[in-house]
């Protein structure tokens, strides 16, 4: 007689079973706790390798120096020696094979990143050689006078 | 009647217990266990930012966006540089236009001209993900789509993130955002694809002023680990108990 | 704008002073709708349980109705979350790989449990009716009749025993489920409050009172909506009855006794909700932690109208007075109910949107401009029309469900 009372319960159990089956098929096999804690280490393990395989774009100046020895040499004696080639020449991934020519950023804005005059006391920026762009040879690219690889005008 | 009320109370108690069950699945480690577990690992990536050295050129932001394929003109970014200008009245004028991607080439802050004579101090502060030891963003992810790797970096599984935004809300540092293309949560991961190949993160490489450095806290000979051990360093918002792993030299009380 | 520049949140966020670059109002109108709709579900169920468990006979009519209405509201409690997800196709993942340290992870489980309880209770209450329908339709021919009979046959789940003992068992089961349902309904909603209250990064949200405040205001809004819908439907039926020629059936409209009885419970929960909210506010002001400066400037400045005029005055104080003044009429109750529903909505708004009205830097503000005219899927979902869709669906669902599970028969 009491039999029918349990019918909604069977429905509930059926639903739970359905979720269990779905879990079996839809959760990646390497999903689980990989580490010490469920709080911070519950994840899909293969994702770590996926991130490791993310393509690298910036190659670093050592790679550039292999072919562009002269330019590398010239800049490494100048006050700009700390600046990476790719900061102005752009990321070198695929160069020279797929990307024949890198696009060089010769804009005034590129130089102004460091050399726009900001009169800040107690700041390294305040010590940089700076110009007020609107008042300094507005119509020209900086490289017209200053060689980025050797920016000192006296050395030219 | 009395019987069914007792029955009701009993059922109530059982349900409450059953509802509390999931909580028991959380794994709590004793401090000793935790210490042992952490000490056994070989690498703990750590960042060191020297705000004394930063000039606000923003090359790090540019490099980060290009390296990590964050749409260049989108207003979100994995790392950014903030400018703080403190005036004589004690007020802090803060800005970070486009995250400092194009550097700071204007002395105006949000169209406000500040007389250089009024400035008592001014400085730049680079920001990035703190790769917290107790990452609140990881704790709140409902599906395990963000996690801490063995070497301490917090990663996001772009194929598993449901895009609920809870992690974005949980981060006290505001480093997370929705990637406009993948439509999943995104943030700095110390250029995991580079560090795992022995390269520096793109922002570190692009910095011409040594303001940004990465190191391994577990390696006693590591220069960054040495600096953190011997110099007076600070972290951002430690009151949240997140144990951030981006350390700062020359951090000012005005920094938010 | 090129598609890869469409950053979630940019569309409706306006920044003021210094805000971190990645900060936007990521949780917008749908996250306001989510606790609001969940609250209505929980409240409706609690109201029905007051009759089933605690034998509040005066609530019998409205209890039947609010039970079925809470079923119609159920799917809509989950809908806002689905509409808000950036990856809606992955919505089942919280059931597949639940990360229980997250408050959201349990949503699927608690929600499903609760749904099962509501459905089962309705089944026990209406099983006799289903069986009767099957028997009544047995002799009749025609496709419509056959289809309806089939539906009722499915609804009986093969349990045709309608002897007195069996019905007694049904009643007992319904009573137990109603009892179990109360803590589960409170859990469902209290934990919606926990989702917000546990975010330590957010100075406005983080409070252990948040879950309790959410439960109280949930019950308030749930009871209010049930009463309001009940009154409207009953009055509408009475109105039609007066217009029609057939005078053999007499429908009187909403029972004053029923409405006023429910109103008393409403007032009780309303007082509890306001007390807790005030406690929270006073505590924040008195302890004046680091975040208080910016919180104060938001609450007493930028959001003053939303919080103190719309929510507390218009949404709480005015209906409170309306319900307490002597010689209460149905009309005045309706006005009070509408104001209460509005007040609870504003409370959700002020929590969700207000919590994102200031930057994590405590040095800037964000303003929310809800998209009105949609020009993309995103601006529809997270805009005015998305919210209106969510509000409209339960009424459509109820009108369908009520055809097969009549909850408005007079007893």
pLDDT digits (tens, 9 = 90+) for A39-52: 999 999 999 999 99
Is A20 within 8 Å of chain C by CB? no
- From first to last of its 411 residues, chain C has per-residue pLDDT tens of 566 678 999 999 999 999 999 999 999 999 999 999 988 888 888 888 888 888 777 778 788 888 999 999 998 989 999 999 999 999 999 999 999 999 999 888 888 899 999 999 999 999 999 999 999 998 888 888 999 999 999 999 988 888 999 999 999 999 999 999 988 888 888 888 999 999 999 999 999 999 999 989 888 998 899 899 889 888 888 888 888 766 666 666 777 888 888 899 899 999 999 999 999 999 999 999 999 999 999 999 999 999 999 999 999 999 999 999 988 899 999 999 999 999 999 999 999 999 999 999 999 999 999 999 999 988 999 999 999 999 999 999 999 999 888 887 654
Cα separation of C171 and B4, whole Å? Answer: 11
Cα separation of C377 and B29, whole Å? Answer: 45
Measured between beta carbons, which residues in chain A are less than 8 angstroms from residue C153? none
Question: Where would I find the H helices in chain A?
Answer: 7-26, 46-52, 61-65, 69-75, 85-89, 108-115, 124-127
Note the maximum CA span of chain C.
75
Cα separation of A12 and B244, whole Å? Answer: 44
CA end-to-end span of chain C, whole Å? 61
CA distance A40 to chain C (A): 9
Q: Which DSSP letter does residue A102 get? A: P
Do C66 and C45 touch, CB atoms closer than 8 A? yes
Nearest to C97 among A7, A11, A27 (CB): A27
Q: Write down the residue that tokens 């934990």 correspond to.
A: C191
Domain count, chain C: 1
Which residues on adjacent β-strands are paired with residue B112?
A: B109
Domain count, chain A: 1
Do C107 and C94 touch, CB atoms closer than 8 A? yes
Do C404 and C151 touch, CB atoms closer than 8 A? yes
Torsion over CA: A53, A57, A60, A65 (sign): positive
Quote the tokens at residue B14. Answer: 């059982």
CATH number of residue C294's parent domain: 1.20.1630.10
Subunits with at least 3 CB pairs below 8 A relative to chain A?
A: B, C
pLDDT given at position C19: 97
Residue of C99, A50, A46 whose CA lies nearest to B166: C99
Domain for residue A121, yes or no?
Answer: yes
**B132 pLDDT above the threshold of 60:** yes
Q: Which DSSP letter does residue A43 get? A: E
Fold (topology level) of B45-131+188-249? Alpha-Beta Plaits (3.30.70)
**What tens digit of pLDDT does each residue of C275-299 get?**
999 999 999 999 999 999 999 999 9
- In this prediction, residues B130-138 reach a mean pLDDT of 97
**What phi and psi values does residue A76 have, to the nearest 5 degrees?**
-75, -5
Give SS3 for C120: helix
Q: What is the pTM of this model?
A: 0.90
Contact B52 A60 (CB under 8 A): no
Quote the domain boundaries for residue C138. 12-243+255-404
**Could you tell me the strand order of the sheet in which B92-95 lies?**
B92-95, B80-87, B119-127
Cα separation of A64 and B73, whole Å? Answer: 28
Which residues on adjacent β-strands are paired with residue B93?
A: B85
- Express as a percent the part of chain B with pLDDT over 90: 83
Q: How many Cβ contacts (< 8 angstroms) between chains B and C?
A: 184
Domain boundaries, chain B: 45-131+188-249
ipTM above 0.90, yes or no: yes
Cα separation of C364 and C354, whole Å? Answer: 13
Measured between beta carbons, which residues in chain C are less than 8 angstroms from residue A45? none
Measured between beta carbons, which residues in chain C are less than 8 angstroms from residue B110? 17
Domain for residue C384, yes or no?
Answer: yes
CA distance A107 to chain C (A): 24
Confidence band (pLDDT; 50, 70, 90) for B24?
A: very low
Domain for residue A115, yes or no?
Answer: yes
Q: Give the CA distances from residue B75 to residues A53, A131, B167, B185, B191, in Å, rounded to whole numbers and listed in that order.
A: 26, 28, 19, 15, 20
Domain for residue C6, yes or no?
Answer: no
Contact C201 B98 (CB under 8 A): no
Nearest to A125 among B55, B157, B160 (CB): B55
Is A79 within 8 Å of chain B by CB? no
pLDDT averaged over every residue in chain C: 90
Q: Which runs of E-coded beta strand occur in chain B? A: 45-50, 80-87, 92-95, 119-127, 146-148, 154-156, 177-178, 185-186, 212-216, 246-249
Q: Give the CA distances from residue C397 to residues C47, C385, C392, in Å, rounded to whole numbers and listed in that order.
A: 20, 18, 9
Domain for residue A67, yes or no?
Answer: no
Counting Cβ atoms within 10 Å, is residue B13 exposed (0-12), middle (13-18) or buried (19+)? exposed
Residues 6+ apart with CB under 8 A from A62: none
């Amino acid at each position: 007689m009491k039999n029918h009372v349990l019918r909604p319960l069977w429905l509930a159990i059926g639903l739970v079973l359905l979720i269990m089956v779905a879990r079996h098929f839809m959760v990646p096999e390497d999903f689980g706790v990989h580490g010490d804690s469920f709080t911070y280490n519950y994840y899909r393990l293969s994702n770590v390798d996926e991130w490791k395989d993310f393509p690298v774009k910036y190659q670093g100046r050592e790679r550039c120096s292999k072919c562009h020895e002269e330019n590398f040499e010239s800049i490494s004696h100048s006050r700009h020696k700390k600046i990476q080639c790719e900061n102005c020449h752009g990321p070198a991934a695929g160069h020279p094979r797929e990307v024949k020519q890198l696009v060089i950023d010769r804009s005034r804005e590129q130089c102004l990143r460091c050399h726009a005059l900001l009169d800040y006391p107690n700041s390294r920026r305040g010590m940089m050689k700076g110009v007020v762009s609107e008042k300094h040879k507005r119509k020209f690219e900086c490289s017209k006078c200053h060689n980025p690889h050797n920016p000192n005008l006296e050395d030219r | 009647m009395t019987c069914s009320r007792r029955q009701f109370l009993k059922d109530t108690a059982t349900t409450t217990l059953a509802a509390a069950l999931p909580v028991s699945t959380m794994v709590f480690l004793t401090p000793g266990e935790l210490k042992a577990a952490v000490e056994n690992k070989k690498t703990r990536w750590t960042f060191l930012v020297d705000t004394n050295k930063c000039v606000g050129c923003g090359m790090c932001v540019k490099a980060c966006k290009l390296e990590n394929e964050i749409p260049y003109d989108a207003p979100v970014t994995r790392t950014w540089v903030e400018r703080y200008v403190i005036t004589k009245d004690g007020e802090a004028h803060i800005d970070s236009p486009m995250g400092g991607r194009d550097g700071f080439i204007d002395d105006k802050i949000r169209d406000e001209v500040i007389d250089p004579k009024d400035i008592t101090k001014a400085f730049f502060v680079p920001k990035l993900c703190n790769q917290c030891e107790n990452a609140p963003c990881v704790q709140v992810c409902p599906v395990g789509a963000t996690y801490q790797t063995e070497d301490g970096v917090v990663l996001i599984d772009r194929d598993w993130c449901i895009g609920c935004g809870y992690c974005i809300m949980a981060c006290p540092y505001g480093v997370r955002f929705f990637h406009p293309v993948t439509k999943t949560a995104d943030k700095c991961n110390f250029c995991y694809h580079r560090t795992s190949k022995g390269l520096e993160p793109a922002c570190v490489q692009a910095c011409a002023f040594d303001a940004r450095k990465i190191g391994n806290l577990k390696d006693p000979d590591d220069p960054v680990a040495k600096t953190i051990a011997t110099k007076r360093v600070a972290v951002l918002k430690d009151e949240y108990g997140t144990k951030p792993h981006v350390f700062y030299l020359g951090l000012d009380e005005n920094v938010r | 704008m090129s598609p890869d520049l469409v950053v979630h949140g940019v569309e409706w966020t306006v920044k003021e002073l210094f805000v971190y670059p990645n900060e936007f109002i990521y949780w917008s109108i749908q996250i306001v709708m989510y606790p609001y709709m969940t609250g209505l579900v929980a409240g409706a169920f609690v109201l029905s349980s007051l009759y089933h468990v605690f034998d509040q006979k005066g609530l019998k009519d409205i209890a039947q109705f609010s039970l079925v209405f809470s079923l119609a509201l159920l799917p809509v409690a989950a809908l806002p979350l689905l509409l808000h997800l950036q990856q809606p196709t992955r919505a089942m993942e919280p059931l597949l790989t639940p990360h229980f340290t997250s408050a959201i992870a349990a949503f699927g489980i608690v929600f499903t449990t609760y749904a099962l309880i509501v459905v089962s209770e309705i089944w026990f209450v209406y099983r006799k009716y289903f069986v009767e329908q099957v028997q009544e339709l047995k002799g009749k021919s025609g496709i419509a009749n056959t289809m309806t009979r089939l539906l009722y046959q499915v609804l009986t789940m093969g349990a045709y025993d309608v002897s007195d003992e069996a019905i007694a068992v049904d009643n007992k089961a319904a009573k137990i489920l109603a009892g179990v349902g109360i803590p589960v309904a409170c859990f469902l909603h209290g934990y919606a409050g926990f989702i917000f209250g546990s975010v330590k990064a957010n100075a406005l949200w983080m409070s252990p009172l948040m879950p309790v405040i959410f439960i109280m205001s949930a019950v308030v809004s749930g009871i209010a909506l049930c009463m309001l819908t009940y009154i409207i439907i009953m009055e509408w039926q009475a109105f039609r009855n007066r217009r029609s020629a057939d005078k053999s059936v007499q429908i009187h409209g909403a029972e004053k006794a029923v409405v006023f009885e429910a109103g008393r419970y409403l007032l009780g929960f309303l007082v509890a909700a306001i007390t807790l909210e005030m406690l929270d506010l006073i505590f924040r002001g008195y302890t004046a932690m680091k975040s208080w400066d910016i919180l104060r400037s938001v609450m007493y400045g930028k959001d003053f109208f939303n919080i103190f005029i719309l929510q507390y005055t218009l949404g709480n104080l005015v209906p409170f007075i309306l319900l307490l003044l002597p010689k209460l009429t149905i009309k005045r109750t309706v006005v009070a109910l509408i104001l209460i529903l509005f007040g609870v909505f504003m409370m959700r708004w002020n929590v969700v949107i207000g919590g994102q009205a200031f930057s994590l830097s405590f040095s800037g503000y964000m303003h929310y401009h809800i998209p009105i005219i949609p020009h993309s899927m995103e601006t529809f979902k997270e805009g005015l029309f998305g919210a209106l869709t969510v509000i409209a669906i339960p009424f459509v669902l109820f009108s369908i469900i009520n055809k097969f599970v009549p909850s408005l028969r007079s007893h």
